[in-house]
Structure 1
């Protein structure tokens, strides 16, 4: 069975405790496509047709034929064997709203322009050690092996200008 993010399936019943949403209701697949393809479980957000107070983690869903609310504060892992009838697929706008509600529920904030991840590169210490090693090698080749080097290895490899 092909399972895509944003699909809505009926999830067959299982036992619940306390305020957990009882299965035996439709749920949105929210796990990523790679996991959906290879894992025996998927992450879902249950839908309810009952009125729920407005919350940042509640999303109105209308694309599956019945007005529902996605309860994004209750993310649940479900064995794929419990997935029943396919009910439909969310619109792109609905899925974007679900994503925002999931981030709100999990306390994940989108990165701003200022919050960029710096690429990992050699530290100043690594560059200094490399320079020392290259200068040593250059001197060794000239003195011990009689090899004349046109230009400087250090300058050529590290992109520095000759003095």
Structure 2
């Protein structure tokens, strides 16, 4: 399975602890494709998606067009996590470039990385 940054995948997130997003839900792959394909790295980084729209820079809105999502959703950047690739149940599609750019901006802001336009 070849996963690029911005791939939308269905992931089994359980078991979880506390306020972590749980259940089977769409997530967006945000780790580097080279790492994703390397067999030495059994995990990748994802951002869970929810149909409950959030407010603010950490919750970029996602459209269903082309991504495989069934409704307008938002990325929960504050729930960024690493998962074992075996948690992936299926691949839906890929985010459009403008939505991946908005997600990247939200990740820069959340992680305190240089280049955030909100700083």
Summarize deviations over 1:11-46 as a string: whole Å, max 9, x none.
Answer: 024111111111410000000111111121110000
Moved runs in structure 1, 4+ residues, more than 6 A?
Answer: none
CA distance in 1, matches of 2:13, 2:21: 10
In the other structure, the counterpart of 2:14 is 14
Is the contact between residue 53 and residue 61 of structure 2 (CA under 8 Å) also seen in structure 1?
no
Query: 1:86 and 2:88 equivalent?
Result: no
Aligned Cα root-mean-square deviation (Å) = 1.4
Structure with larger Rg: 1
Give 5+ residue unaligned stretches, structure 1: 112-163
Q: More strand per residue: 1 or 2? A: 2
- Greater RCO between the two (CA within 8 Å, min separation 6)? 2
| TM-score (normalised: structure 2) | 0.86
| TM-score (normalised: structure 1) | 0.64
Q: More helix per residue: 1 or 2? A: 1
Give 5+ residue unaligned stretches, structure 2: none
